[in-house]
């Protein structure tokens, strides 16, 4: 079967590899669509980061480069391994793409997203969504109903990132949230917040992404800090109180500064973006306002609730799909667009079976 394999920085090859074996306890999935994530791009341009370099096997998966890529995917079950009796061939599914040690508990309240050596399917080994087929442990497979088209279902994974960030914030209906950055993550997080009855102020610079925010209806206010006085506008909207919660989705220090300035006393700031360099923070403001600043990583038992928001029609993922491509076009049309023309895209999804 065809698969996109990461060898090293700048070296991703579409190759023919053997089909996966559907071992006991696993589910064989024919991949429908797989999204390209900013993390994949970082691996391609600066990696390997999450991907275990050639000759340095990951402690849990035991694999190293070359590995198959793709962690944001949907598909249809084509086989089930021995012992799997609660999922049938033909079922539509999405995958929560974790690689965690077998002895890590993954029940309610367990922080398996923070477990030692945690990695992701499609980065740390165990196959990936950028291939025709994959076998995944039953624990990480989530059935979806026919109400969610398979192309939109490929966005459930980044939507679950937004869902977990929402949970981390403690925001509730009636609150006002400031989302700094309207890339795929900021937009999908905004969709979750809106679905939960929270007023969303989104900041973004790119014309296409501002347009997406407007067209999809995920933000009540879309502010471009290069065009308006952000502080003045936010204070007007919140009647001088400041926002209840704020989310950093850019890894730009100026954005973090504005969140610290514009969050109300005793408010919460959630850092969603991945920072490859240390940030500076106005600690005095944090102290004087008793602000809580929190991180968020991945998702942890959030997939069921995330899927339900989409099944219930509270979130429409269609507007965020901007390009659909074939596996052979992964680098030429997928990565190249995101590297050189990032703002022309939100989510590019790949069909490995085309």
Ligand X SMILES: NC(=O)c1ccc[n+]([C@@H]2O[C@H](COP(=O)([O-])OP(=O)(O)OC[C@H]3O[C@@H](n4cnc5c(N)ncnc54)[C@H](O)[C@@H]3O)[C@@H](O)[C@H]2O)c1
The residue written with tokens 């926002």 in the block is: 243
CB of 291 to Zn ion, least distance (A): 28
Strand 119-120 to 176-180 pairing: unpaired
Q: Does 294 bind ligand X (CB under 6 A)?
A: no
The least CB distance from residue 55 to ligand X, in Å, is 26
* Minimum gap (Å) between residue 157 Cβ and ligand X: 9
238 binds, among Zn ion, ligand X, none (CB under 5 to 8 A by kind): none
Residue numbers 141-180 binding ligand X by CB under 6 A: 161, 180
User: How far from 124 is each of 85, 112, 315, CA to CA, in Å?
Assistant: 28, 16, 30
Kindly state the number of chain residues that form the binding site for Zn ion, as judged by CB under 5 A: 2
Residue 237 contact partner, candidates Zn ion, ligand X, none, CB within 5 to 8 A by sort of partner: none
User: Which residue, 15 or 257, has its beta carbon nearer to ligand X?
Assistant: 257
Our finding on whether 209 is near ligand X (CB under 6 A) is yes
Q: Based on the shown chain and the rule CB under 6 A, indicate whether residue 249 belongs to the binding site for ligand X.
A: yes
Asked if 38 is part of the footprint of ligand X (rule: CB under 6 A), the reply reads yes
Cβ at position 145, least distance to ligand X in Å: 25
Enumerate residues 6+ apart whose C-beta is below 8 A from 183.
38, 209, 249, 250, 346
| Residue 306 binds to ligand X (criterion: CB under 6 A) | no
Q: Is 274 in the site for ligand X (CB under 6 A)?
A: yes
Q: Please identify, among the stretches 181-189, 214-222, 234-242, 310-318, the one whose residues bind ligand X according to the rule CB under 6 A.
A: 181-189
Stretch that binds ligand X, among 68-76, 92-100, 247-255, 307-315 (CB under 6 A): 247-255
The neighbouring-strand residues paired with 75 are: 31, 93
Nearest distance from residue 33's CB to Zn ion, in Å? 14
Q: Which of 49, 143, 298, 311 binds ligand X (CB under 6 A)?
A: 298
Sole binder of Zn ion in the list 3, 4, 37, 348 (CB under 5 A) = 37
CA atoms of 280 and 64, how far apart (whole Å): 35
**In the complex with ligand X, which residue's Cβ is closer, 143 or 298?**
298
The span from the CA of 21 to the CA of 24, in Å, is 9
- Residue 101 burial (CB count, 10 A): 12
236 binds ligand X (CB under 6 A): no
Query: Segment 212-231, which members bind ligand X (CB under 6 A)?
Result: 225
Smallest gap from Cβ 221 to ligand X, in A, equals 13
12 beta partners: 6
207 contacts ligand X (rule: CB under 6 A) = no
C-alpha to C-alpha distances, 201 to 69, 167, 179, nearest whole angstrom:
34, 18, 6
Residue 171 CA to residue 262 CA, distance in Å, equals: 16
Q: Which is nearer to Zn ion, 37 or 256 (CB)?
A: 37
74 binds, among Zn ion, ligand X, none (CB under 5 to 8 A by kind): none
Q: Give the footprint of ligand X on this chain (CB under 6 A).
A: 38-39, 161, 180-186, 203-206, 209, 225, 249-252, 254-255, 272-274, 296-298
Q: Give the footprint of Zn ion on this chain (CB under 5 A).
A: 37, 39
């Amino acid at each position: 079967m065809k698969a996109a394999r990461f060898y090293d920085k700048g070296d991703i090859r579409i190759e023919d590899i053997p089909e996966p074996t559907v071992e006991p306890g696993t589910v064989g999935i024919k991949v429908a669509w797989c999204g390209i994530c900013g993390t994949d791009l970082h691996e391609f341009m600066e990696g390997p980061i999450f991907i275990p370099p050639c000759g340095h096997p990951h402690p849990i998966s035991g694999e190293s480069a070359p590995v198959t890529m793709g962690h944001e995917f949907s598909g249809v079950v084509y086989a089930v391994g021995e012992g799997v009796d609660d999922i049938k061939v033909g079922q539509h599914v999405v995958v929560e793409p974790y690689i965690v040690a077998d002895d890590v508990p993954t029940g309610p309240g367990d922080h398996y997203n923070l477990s030692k050596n945690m990695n992701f399917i499609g980065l740390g080994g165990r196959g990936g969504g950028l291939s025709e087929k994959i076998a995944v442990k039953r624990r990480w497979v989530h059935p979806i109903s026919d109400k969610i088209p398979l192309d939109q279902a490929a966005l459930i994974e980044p939507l679950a990132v937004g869902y977990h960030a929402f949970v981390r914030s403690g925001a509730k209906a009636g609150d006002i949230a400031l989302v700094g950055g309207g890339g795929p993550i900021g937009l999908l997080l905004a969709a979750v917040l809106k679905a939960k009855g929270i007023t969303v102020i989104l900041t973004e610079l790119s014309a296409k992404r501002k347009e997406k925010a407007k067209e999809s209806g995920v933000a009540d206010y879309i502010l471009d800090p290069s065009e308006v006085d952000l502080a003045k506008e936010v204070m007007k909207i919140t009647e001088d109180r400041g926002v209840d919660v704020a989310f950093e989705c850019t890894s730009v220090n100026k954005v973090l500064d504005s969140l610290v300035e514009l969050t109300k006393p005793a408010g919460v700031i959630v850092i969603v973006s991945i920072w490859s360099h240390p940030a500076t923070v106005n600690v005095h403001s944090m102290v004087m306002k008793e602000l809580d600043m929190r991180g968020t990583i991945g998702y942890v038992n959030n997939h069921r609730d995330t899927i339900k928001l989409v099944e219930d029609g509270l979130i429409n993922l269609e507007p965020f799909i901007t390009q659909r491509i074939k596996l052979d076009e992964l680098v030429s049309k997928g990565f190249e667009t995101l590297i050189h023309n990032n703002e022309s895209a939100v989510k590019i999804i790949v069909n490995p079976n085309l």
